[in-house]
Amino acid sequence: MYPLEKVITAYRQTHKCDFYQLQLIMDTYVLIVGTVEFVSKLSARVFDRFNDNINACYDWDEVLPEIQKQQPSILIIQANHKNNFNLCRKIKEQSQKNWLYCIFVEDQFEGNDQCLPLDITAEALGNGADAYMAMTSGASGSTYEAENRLLLAQIQVGLRQTRQFRDLIQSNIVLSTIAVTDSLTQIKNRCALKSELPEQIINARLCDQPLSVIMLDVDHFKSVNDNHGHLVGDRTLQILVARLRNQLRVQDGFFRYGGEEFVIILPNTEAASARDIAERLRRLVDKQSFIVQPKERLHITISIGVSTLDLTDDEQGTSLVKRADQNLLKAKAAGRNQVIPESQS
């Protein structure tokens, strides 16, 4: 890869061109593939004011590694190079998840054969290119300006489509995150649990590692809402989540199961360790009151049920969660504010 600064500077000394303002390109990376002469001509025609956003590849073997390192929004390929169609196909195959707009440019068209541009256009589009244009060799005056406008228009189309695609991807990511995130506590929700628990079970069995699940419930939470209001109840859950989350490992999964019930996935954690973790969490909540308002403190407790993956559990995690839930019910029936581990189920 080589910067264009030197070749553009050289052409600035001998060419004085008027260029359209193309603000879209200021946040866009353009990669030009071709000979030094081709890159220089193209830069002088269109991109003189935007060279900070352009890079060039003069070696066809370097193109794919460069795109893998940083994929451009626009790719301009010299059309009359022998490897151009194979290169375009390979690039498109590797760009399915991150869309790339590819323009073929012929810079040596003599204008004698009117069918040639049509044939090349058809072949270029058939090999994955999004646009093709022929620039007349030695063009000047109105022809030169018209070709500049056409190339710029094709680039603008590519930039719009690329931006629309990237906006769509970003929107999908945001929507996907919203779909699996609990809006009150900002941890993952039950929908996320249904998706992630099967993956954790499969991974645990493949790696021959233990996997445990904690299900916890805030004791007498209804009375918090009834006596203090739902806003205080919401604040209580937020404080609880923040307090518990600080005690978990990076690899642990924390989910709001519904209402005041929560589930914690503990990868690579056997039954005894899961019991100890659950007990530590229970004591943490019990020993320190919750400041829900400047002059209002609440003392709450939690009941916890624990289960550990065994050979009979299904891959969806239904039975694993069910056992944790059953142990949670036993903890509540036994007086609350306690942990019932797998061994006592």
Domains and CATH numbers, the chain: 5-179 (3.40.50.2300), 190-344 (3.30.70.270)
Q: What digits encode the pLDDT tens for the residues 108-154? A: 665 555 666 677 778 778 777 888 888 776 667 788 788 878 888 88
Q: What digits encode the pLDDT tens for the residues 10-68? A: 334 333 333 333 333 335 678 888 888 888 887 776 665 555 577 888 888 888 888 87
Q: What is the pLDDT at residue 16? A: 38
In this structure, is the dihedral angle defined by the CA atoms of residues 101, 3, 45 and 109, taken in order, positive or negative?
negative
Checking if the pLDDT of 157 tops 50, the result is yes
260 included as an active-site residue? yes
Average of per-residue pLDDT values in the chain: 83
Q: Which of 106, 147, 260, 342 is catalytic?
A: 260
Checking if the pLDDT of 245 tops 60, the result is yes
Q: Which long-range contacts (CB under 8 A, 24 or more apart) does 25-29 make?
A: 25/50, 25/53, 25/155, 25/159, 26/50, 26/53, 27/53, 28/53, 28/72, 28/73, 28/74, 28/159, 28/162, 29/53, 29/54, 29/55, 29/70, 29/72, 29/73, 29/74
Query: What DSSP assignment string belongs to 106-134?
Result: EEEE-SS-SHHHHHHHHHHHHTT-SEEEE
Q: What is the pTM (predicted TM-score) of this model?
A: 0.60
Most confident of 76-90, 145-159, 197-211: 197-211
Query: Residue 143: how many CA atoms within 13 Å on its side-chain side?
Result: 10
Percent of the chain with pLDDT over 70: 83
- Cβ neighbourhood burial of 108 (10 Å; 0-12, 13-18, 19+): middle
Checking if the pLDDT of 307 tops 90, the result is yes
Q: What is the pLDDT at residue 115? A: 62
- Cβ neighbourhood burial of 179 (10 Å; 0-12, 13-18, 19+): exposed
Q: What is the pLDDT at residue 109? A: 61
Contact 107/38 with Cβ under 8 angstroms?
yes
